[in-house]
Chain A
Amino acid sequence: MNENSPYKRILVANRGEIALRIIRTCRENDIETIAVYSREDSGSAHVEFADNACCIGEGHPSASYMNIPSIISAALLFGAEAVHPGYGFLAEDDRFAKILRAHGISFIGPEADALLLAKDKLISRKTALSVNVPVLPGSEEISASNFLDEAEKIGYPLVIKPRVGGAGRGIIEVWSKEELLSVLTNPAFDTDVLGSYYLERKLGKARHIEAQVLADRFGVAKVIGIRDCSIQKGRQKIIEESPPAHLGKTMRKRIEDASLELCSSMGLSTAVTFEFLVSGNDFFFIEVNPRIQVEHTVTEMLTGIDIVWEQIKLSAGERLDLAGEEYLYDKRQNYDDGHAIQARIYVEPDFSSGSCGLIGSLRIPGGPGVRFDTHLYPGCAVPYLYDPLVAKVIAWGSNRVEAIRRMRRALEEVRIEGVMTNIEVLKGIVESKEFRHAKHDIGFAEEFNFCSKEAGEQKEAIKGMKACEMFSV
């Protein structure tokens, strides 16, 4: 029995690999878990891994993983003392945090009031400006009347961004005034909701650098890692690494200081990530994510810190204490010792069958320095309703070259049959000259030519399997 666990029972309000990740930390610390699941997910791994499981609704997220009354009812009936929201779904819903608190249940994340201010990018930009942290040229609150004026002030190219939300959804790039006007008159774009958007200058060549911070309620905050997440496709991060290659000591210090300054001015006492764009000698704050992130694994690999566990303790109001012997972080204060890379494996949805497929055989990578986080198992169905992220390969090496070699080897080991994945794309990037020499920026993966021969062959194989299925029915 772990005497130090602040909670005895936690409800995990998520699915997929992150639900497993949270359940694992809970099990290590003798915390009983309650998994919630949609009808679509009754065979999902998190249902199996948790101590208790409760079906909360139909497949669509709004009916299940975002169904607040159902989740709270389950939390109360099972006697959960805290709810971990993971990422996505309700992770940045301040209303959910508030309702939980009213029922005497802890929300593992920031306080509801701090969350309300942090999740709105227009407000967090203003906070940054007030503490002299640079931001990109951007607009004030926009409406149909000031839209064009604001855009002219910023200049083109620019992006129309939703104030709330993540994973790059809903972002529109605009390269000229004409294009902006055509977006406005497009019937698919609802001008009534313009108030929920803001405008920001688009940077051409830049790198996405972020700082992982842990902060407690007593004003103690620490940067435990800096990550480079510049390899993105369709505004989704696909490869992340730490420490960032070619990031000068001065720039890193400026980013760390800015992050700590932002953290205290936003009143965030949890695990939180501050995201920046770095271009030449300039850096710009873009957004804050006060929740566990998909790429937290990279920092865990380097430091030995269990970020989920720290997050759980911080939400219970405990003091931040990283002095424990178990943490490598404390031993090697600078995290230049070693290098960690994460590659995200996504499935490609097949809209004709309304599913991503059924996993056939599954080969999991292993060996020295490799971590593999997934909720897949042979025979499991991959519904198309949810996040297409199905696995994360994390490789550690004593330096960047070794980490890249290990990642390449691990990606070669992975076999996921029955679904289309981006594994070939990941291999292509890892082996590319640009990535090996760290010459990449946020536009690199978009322009990269992915059409490798293997990817084509894999496509054919999948088609063959689909045909077999049709005949066997």
Chain B
Amino acid sequence: MKKSKKKLRLKFLRKRSSAVPIDELGKLVELMDERMLTEVSIQEGSKKIAVKRSLHNYIPPLREGERGEENGFIAVESPTVGIFYRAQAPGKPPLVDVGQIVEKGEVMALVEALKVMNEVRAPVTGKVVSVEAEDGELVDYGRVLFLMEEIE
């Protein structure tokens, strides 16, 4: 499952900007996870890639089976196969962002399938911990879109 999802994501990114050496970037991020680094850069001729992140908001990468409530997070999944939109319309601000508190049932995003906008609603009241898909990305059924922390 993981592999195919990765395929989907990479495909779309590739289409958008062919200039990003996505494979190399991926390797760098993996390296950072592995060694718990906050900053890494490589230079090859005129090409330079630098990746930085703060460990303050760092969430360890989820592995298969750790998803869901055992890890303390609630996964918000795509209800169908379609295009993921974070805003109601182009140019509008995202419906929700990381750190925001959402009410149960609140619309968090849209997934467009066969010209129908399917609303993605919050399954619980809680804080948005991360956004797992990119705006405009092709998502399949069950794809994790957001992670939330439930508030009692």
Q: Which residues of A contact B (CB under 8 A)?
A: 37, 39, 42-43, 47-48, 52-58, 64, 69-70, 72-74, 76-78
Q: Which residues of B contact A52 (CB under 8 A)?
A: 4, 7-8, 11
Q: Are A69 and B141 in contact (CB under 8 A)?
A: no
Q: Are B142 and A55 in contact (CB under 8 A)?
A: yes
* Cα distance, A374 to B7, chains bound together (Å): 25
Q: Are B81 and A53 in contact (CB under 8 A)?
A: no
6 closest cross-chain pairs (CB), A and B? A42-B1, A53-B4, A73-B113, A55-B140, A73-B81, A54-B140
B108 close to chain A: CB less than 8 A: no
Q: Are A70 and B4 in contact (CB under 8 A)?
A: no
Q: Are A70 and B81 in contact (CB under 8 A)?
A: yes
Q: Are B141 and A55 in contact (CB under 8 A)?
A: yes
Q: Which residues of B contact A43 (CB under 8 A)?
A: 1
- Interface positions, chain B 110-145, Cβ under 8 Å from A, are 113-114, 138, 140-143
Q: Could you list 10 further interchain pairs (A-B, Cβ under 8 angstroms) beyond the known A43-B1, A54-B8, A70-B81?
A: A42-B1, A52-B4, A53-B7, A54-B81, A55-B1, A70-B80, A70-B113, A74-B140, A77-B81, A78-B138
Q: Kindly provide the distance from the CB of B149 to the nearest chain A CB, expressed in whole angstroms.
A: 24
Q: Are B11 and A56 in contact (CB under 8 A)?
A: no
Q: Which residues of A contact B4 (CB under 8 A)?
A: 37, 42, 47, 52-55
Q: Are B140 and A69 in contact (CB under 8 A)?
A: no
Q: Are A70 and B141 in contact (CB under 8 A)?
A: yes
- Determine chain A's interface SS by DSSP, over half rule: mixed
Q: Kindly provide the distance from the CB of A61 to the nearest chain B CB, expressed in whole angstroms.
A: 14
Q: Kindly provide the distance from the CB of B112 to the nearest chain A CB, expressed in whole angstroms.
A: 9
Within the complex, which residue of A39, A48, A78 is in contact with B141, where a contact is CB–CB below 8 Å? A39
* Cα distance, A60 to B48, chains bound together (Å): 49
Within the complex, which residue of A39, A42, A56 is in contact with B81, where a contact is CB–CB below 8 Å? A56
List 5 A–B pairs whose Cβ atoms lie within 8 Å, in order of A's numbering.
A55-B4, A55-B5, A70-B80, A73-B113, A74-B140
Q: Are A69 and B1 in contact (CB under 8 A)?
A: no
Q: Are B143 and A55 in contact (CB under 8 A)?
A: yes
List the B residue with the shortest CB-CB distance to A53.
B4
Q: Are A57 and B113 in contact (CB under 8 A)?
A: no
Q: Which residues of A contact B80 (CB under 8 A)?
A: 69-70, 73
Q: Which residues of A contact B7 (CB under 8 A)?
A: 52-53
A47-B4, A77-B81, A77-B83 known; A69-B142 Cβ under 8 A: no
Q: Kindly provide the distance from the CB of A60 to the nearest chain B CB, expressed in whole angstroms.
A: 13
Q: Which residues of B contact A57 (CB under 8 A)?
A: 141
List the A residue with the shortest CB-CB distance to B114.
A73
Q: Which residues of A contact B11 (CB under 8 A)?
A: 52
Q: Kindly provide the distance from the CB of A27 to the nearest chain B CB, expressed in whole angstroms.
A: 16
Q: Are B138 and A77 in contact (CB under 8 A)?
A: yes
1/0 per residue, CB under 8 A from A, across B77-117: the answer is: 00011110000000000000000000000000000011000
- Interface positions, chain B 1-56, Cβ under 8 Å from A, are 1, 3-5, 7-8, 11
Q: Which residues of A contact B114 (CB under 8 A)?
A: 69, 72-73, 76
A52-B7, A54-B140 known; A74-B81 Cβ under 8 A: yes
Q: Which residues of A contact B8 (CB under 8 A)?
A: 52-54
Q: Kindly provide the distance from the CB of A16 to the nearest chain B CB, expressed in whole angstroms.
A: 17
